[in-house]
Amino acid sequence: MAEDDHPQTRAIDGRDEESLKRLRDIGDLRGWLALMEDIGELRTVRSADWDLEIGAICELNYKQADPPALVFDDIKGYATGRRVVAASVSTARRLGIALRIGMNETDAGLVEALREAPGRWARTARDYPTRTVPRGPVQENVVPAEQIDLRAFPAPRWHEFDGGRYLGTGCIVFTSDPETGRVNGGAYRIQIQNEGRGATISIVAGKHGAQNVEAWFAKEGRAPVTVSFGQDPLMLIVGGTDVPAGTSELEYAGAVIGAPVDVVLADNGLPIPAGSELAVEGWLEPDQLAPEGPFGEWTGYYSKTEKSAYLLQMSRLYHRDDPIILGAPPGVPPHDYSYMRSAMKSAMVLDALNRSGVPGVEQVWAHEAGGGRLLLAVSIDQRYPGHSRQVGYLTSQDPAGVYMNRYVVVVDADVDVRDLNELMWAVCTRSDPEQDIDILRQTWGSGANPLHVPGTPAYMSRAIIDACVPFERRSAFPRVARTDPAVLREVRAKWRELFGGQP
Task: Give the residues lining the site for ligand FMN (CB under 6 A).
Answer: 169-170, 184, 186-189, 202-204, 207-209, 239-242, 328, 337
| Nearer to ligand FMN (CB atom), residue 54 or residue 465 | 54
* Residue 147 beta carbon to ligand FMN: minimum distance, rounded to whole angstroms: 27
Residues 398-435: b if buried by 16+ CB within 10 A, e if exposed: bebbbbbbbbbbbbbeebbbbeeebbeebbeebbeeee
State which H helix or E strand residue 282 sits in. Answer: strand 278-284
CA distances for 348 relative to 61, 212, 353, angstroms? 28, 23, 9
* Residue 448 beta carbon to ligand FMN: minimum distance, rounded to whole angstroms: 8
Q: How many residues does the chain have?
A: 503
* Residue 463 beta carbon to ligand FMN: minimum distance, rounded to whole angstroms: 22
* Residue 268 beta carbon to ligand FMN: minimum distance, rounded to whole angstroms: 18
* Residue 410 beta carbon to ligand FMN: minimum distance, rounded to whole angstroms: 24
| Nearer to ligand FMN (CB atom), residue 208 or residue 316 | 208
| Nearer to ligand FMN (CB atom), residue 61 or residue 241 | 241
| Nearer to ligand FMN (CB atom), residue 328 or residue 464 | 328
| Nearer to ligand FMN (CB atom), residue 197 or residue 207 | 207
| Nearer to ligand FMN (CB atom), residue 163 or residue 186 | 186
Q: Please choose, from the candidates 462, 463, 466, 461, the residue with its C-alpha nearest in 3D space to the C-alpha of residue 389.
A: 466
For the chain, what is the largest distance between any 2 Cα atoms, rounded to a whole number of angstroms? Answer: 76
Compute the distance between CA of residue 227 and CA of residue 169 in angstroms, rounded to an integer.
11
Give Cβ neighbours of residue 439 (< 8 Å, ≥ 6 apart). 461, 462, 463, 464
**Contact present, 366 and 111 (Cβ < 8 Å):** no
* Residue 245 beta carbon to ligand FMN: minimum distance, rounded to whole angstroms: 7
| Nearer to ligand FMN (CB atom), residue 208 or residue 320 | 208
Angle at 41 between CA 39 and CA 47, to 5 degrees: 125
| Nearer to ligand FMN (CB atom), residue 169 or residue 193 | 169
Which residue of the chain is nearest ligand FMN when measured via CB? 240
* Residue 169 beta carbon to ligand FMN: minimum distance, rounded to whole angstroms: 5
20 burial via Cβ count (<10 Å: 0-12, 13-18, 19+): middle
**Contact present, 85 and 69 (Cβ < 8 Å):** yes
CA distances for 129 relative to 98, 277, 427, angstroms? 20, 22, 46
* Residue 229 beta carbon to ligand FMN: minimum distance, rounded to whole angstroms: 12
Partners of 438 in the β-ladder? 464
Residue type, 211: Q
